[in-house]
């Protein structure tokens, strides 16, 4: 019986590129300000991270604090036409910005190269729509990251996260024989839910992405106590979402792959 991992299905921002997942979150703040002169905080922008971007904006508008401020400002709840307008404002800002955040997270590319040498395939999916991915993919390739396949949030009629469809589209395209031999790696809760619903092992990233929410420079300047506190908070949220494992960054994935292979050999499944 094959007990080896066949593929990793990887998120993009906060997982492989863009330490801290700032390309999407910062642009949400900018889009709300430009579209309606309406302020939201970076912390609020992070709450729905991992969803497709229209759904992200819609969910942001439903957050109690945001909804209350919107009602007080405009005298009505945020409607679909408002979401459409913010999304239309967001898209060109995001396309323009995404290449600036395309650098791989430290230590990730050598690990992915080693996994490829072992025959492990690299699939990927994102909360970014195709228009944004078409800017991000070549920018990341210029830094040396080229997954075997990628799926955008608006590619599939069924939808995007937290549903399983983007992850499963990778399974089909990569020719993976068993979803239990796949690992979904993500820094955001909807991505963990996506992997679980697809029948895969799931690995959450506690430091490099959305839940930790710091730039590389800010992370390096933190005290060990602050890092530990923020790591614990992020880990608890990812585990509560169903992550089978939580590690700091994708660069730490190899021992997890070995452990999952051993569990498969014992007949365990996700």
Q: Which residues are catalytic?
A: 11, 53
Is omega for the bond preceding 162 within 30 degrees of 0, making it cis?
yes
Q: How far apart are CA 127 and CA 13, in angstroms?
A: 9
For residue 223, the tally of other CB atoms under 10 A from its CB is 8
């Amino acid at each position: 019986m094959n007990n080896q991992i066949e593929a990793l299905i990887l998120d993009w921002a906060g997982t492989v590129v863009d330490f801290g997942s700032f390309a999407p979150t910062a642009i949400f703040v900018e889009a709300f300000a430009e579209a309606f002169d309406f302020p939201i905080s970076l912390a609020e922008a992070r709450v729905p991270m991992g969803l497709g971007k229209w759904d992200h904006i819609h969910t942001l508008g439903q957050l109690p604090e945001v909804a209350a401020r919107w009602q007080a400002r405009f005298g009505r709840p945020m409607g679909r036409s408002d979401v459409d307008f913010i999304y239309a404002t967001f898209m060109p800002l995001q396309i323009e910005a995404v290449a600036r955040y395309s650098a791989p997270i430290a230590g990730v590319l050598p690990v992915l190269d080693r996994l490829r040498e072992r025959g492990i395939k690299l699939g990927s999916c994102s909360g970014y729509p195709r228009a944004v991915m078409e800017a991000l993919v070549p920018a990341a390739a210029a830094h040396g990251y080229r997954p075997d396949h990628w799926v955008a949030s608006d590619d599939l009629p069924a939808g995007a996260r937290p549903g399983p469809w983007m992850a499963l589209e990778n399974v089909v395209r990569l020719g993976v024989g068993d979803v239990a031999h796949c690992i979904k790696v993500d820094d955001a809760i909807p991505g963990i839910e996506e992997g679980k619903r697809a029948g895969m092992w799931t690995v959450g990233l506690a430091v490099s992405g959305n839940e930790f929410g710091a730039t590389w420079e800010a992370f390096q300047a933190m005290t060990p106590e602050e890092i530990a506190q923020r790591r614990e908070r992020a880990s608890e949220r990812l585990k509560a979402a169903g992550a089978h494992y939580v590690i700091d960054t994708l660069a730490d994935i190899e021992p997890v792959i070995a452990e999952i292979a051993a569990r498969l050999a014992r007949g365990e499944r996700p």
